[in-house]
């Protein structure tokens, strides 16, 4: 991605580029009737209030362009991954921490990346939470619902968790 931001799978990059997609800042959401291809990036504070704000931002970007069930899946998984970034990374623990969300949409897929400052004590793992646990199901949901997902360590920049949902 230009500007040193997160990268994404070549197949989706080709789909976005061949679809005439262009990088857009968060204030340039697609209009109804406009093809849903494109890329958007936005930074949010590393705090719990960013979870519903990120959900609203993605809903506004993709509503009317991505089918209802796929949009619901993207919103749910985004909330889970942003919650993890805020709860388990330096982005949520350090003053001024940020979480960067990047969304790419092509004709048949939505690709989302959430980059945070990483953690010296943990890495993303999809596990099965105890039945009486209040948490621990976020990445399990991502694993069950997303078409594909993964994470990568971005050197000094932190960690990125990404997922794709068929649109």
- Output the six-digit token pair for 98: 């940020």
Q: What is the pLDDT of residues 125-135, one digit of tens each?
A: 656 655 555 55
CB 115 within 8 Å of CB 158: yes
Domains in the chain, CATH or no CATH each = 2-18+35-166 (3.30.565.10)
CB 16 within 8 Å of CB 37: yes
Contacts of 10 (CB under 8 A, 6+ apart): none
The pTM of this model reads 0.74
Q: How far is CA 33 from CA 64, 66, 82, in A?
A: 8, 11, 29
Q: What is the pLDDT of residues 79-125, one digit of tens each?
A: 999 999 998 888 999 999 999 999 999 878 999 999 999 875 566 66
CB atoms within 10 A of CB 10: 8
Q: How far is CA 117 from CA 14, 46, 111, 128, 153, in A?
A: 28, 9, 20, 25, 10
């Amino acid at each position: 991605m230009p500007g040193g931001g997160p990268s994404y799978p070549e197949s989706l990059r080709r789909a976005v580029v061949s679809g005439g997609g262009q990088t857009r800042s968060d204030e340039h959401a697609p209009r109804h009737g406009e093809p849903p291809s494109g890329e958007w990036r936005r930074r949010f504070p590393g705090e719990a209030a960013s979870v519903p704000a990120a959900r609203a931002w993605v809903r506004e970007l993709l509503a009317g362009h991505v089918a209802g069930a796929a949009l619901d899946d993207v919103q749910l998984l985004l909330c889970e991954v942003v919650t993890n970034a805020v709860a388990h990374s330096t982005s949520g623990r350090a003053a001024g921490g940020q979480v960067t969300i990047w969304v790419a949409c092509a004709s048949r897929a939505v690709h989302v990346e959430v980059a945070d400052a990483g953690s010296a004590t943990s890495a993303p793992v999809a596990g099965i939470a105890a039945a009486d646990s209040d948490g621990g199901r976020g990445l399990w949901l991502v694993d069950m619902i997303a078409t594909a997902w993964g994470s990568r360590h971005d050197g000094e920049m932190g960690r990125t968790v990404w997922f794709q949902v068929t649109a």
